[in-house]
Amino acid sequence: MANATHTTAAPSVGASIGATGWRLLRALEVPLALAVVLLLWQAASAVVGNSTLLPSPVRVFAAWAALLHADLREDVLASLLHLGIGYALGAGTGLLLAIVAARFVVVESIVDPLVELLRPISAIAWIPLAILMFGISGKVPVFLIFYASLFPIFVNTVAGVKQVDAQLVRAAQMLGASPRLVLTRVVMPSSLPFVLAGARLSLGVAWMAMVAAELTGADAGLGWRLFWYQEFFAMDKVMAVILTIGVLGYLFDTLLRKLQARITRWSPDSAIDEAR
């Protein structure tokens, strides 16, 4: 009996840390990860011993600070313009096609095979064709971002619509709800977590496609600036632009994850994301 009492009174590790401790650990995740990366980066730079091939973090941050007053802001704005147009067109088209395909079997039988045929083809594979169609211009990254962002949201939305409880749909229909009302009040709210997950995946692949397209087929943007600095072997500036791409991508994903958690508070996975 004494042993049982002692076992029950022993606090668990989670309880000993407490809610404040977990919040502190969550807050320190990113700084700790960055500190490890910086230490490894500095060590690798010291081992290589060539600041031109692998510049140190201090040199890269100095180059980044200088670029803030030069070309970086214009390049960020150009990339955001490419991303905004391409992603809006791609995600919107994918969402619309998914809703129509889930509503009409005939449309799904036509669209789904085409999606499964095109989806494995990387957006990078279309760069030569895009350059032939649009020339070296901002239309190339917009087209490739559109292509890359279309499929993840289409697949996720179709999956989300198909998992909607058929009894809820029938109940709404028995209560006299119109097909439009069933779609907006039953189907879309139930499939919303899938749609938002697809939107997040689409944004990630769109960001990668944007950089790849700007490297070879654009006349402005972060990817184009990477190629420009590489031509002059300015590796500190190359690394500064790469860091900018990574930081912006992380910020976009974090904002979309927080939005997803806030909109779908009732989802257990979203509650975990919102606590981060």
- Give the global pTM: 0.79
pLDDT bin (cut points 50, 70, 90) of residue 162 is confident
In a domain, 68, yes or no: yes
- Three-class SS of 135-159: CCCCHHHHHHHHHHHHHHHHHHHHH
Rounded distance between C-alpha atoms, residue 137 and residue 124, angstroms: 16
Considering its fold, how many domains does the chain have in total? 1
Report the pLDDT value the prediction gives residue 267, as an integer from 0 to 100: 57
Whether the pLDDT of residue 209 is over 90: the answer is yes
- Residue bearing tokens 């600036």: 225
Give the mean model confidence (pLDDT) for residues 126-153.
Answer: 93
Structural domain contains residue 161:
yes
Q: Is residue 165 part of a domain?
A: yes
Cα distances from 92 to residues 4, 99, 152, in angstroms, run 60, 11, 12
State the average pLDDT for the chain: 83
Residue 268's H or E segment, with its range, is helix 268-275
Neighbour count for residue 108 (Cβ, 10 Å) = 18
Picking from 230, 226, 195, the residue whose alpha carbon sits closest to that of residue 210 is 226
Residues 56-78: tens digit of each pLDDT: 888 989 999 998 888 888 999 99
Q: Which domain holds residue 149?
A: 59-275
One-letter amino acid of 193: P
Q: What is the domain-level CATH number for residue 141? A: 1.10.3720.10
Tell me whether residue 35 is in a domain. Answer: no
DSSP 94-135: HHHHHHHHHH-HHHHHHHHHHHHHHTTS-GGGGHHHHHHHH-
Is there a domain that residue 109 lies in? yes
Burial of 198 (0-12, 13-18, 19+ CB in 10 A): buried
Any domain includes 133: yes
The 10s digit of each residue's pLDDT in 212-234 is: 999 888 888 999 999 899 888 88
Q: Is residue 42 part of a domain?
A: no
Q: Is residue 188 part of a domain?
A: yes
Q: What b/e readout covers 220-255, taking b as 16+ CB neighbours within 10 angstroms? A: bbbbbbbeebeeeebbbbbbbbeebbeebbeebeee
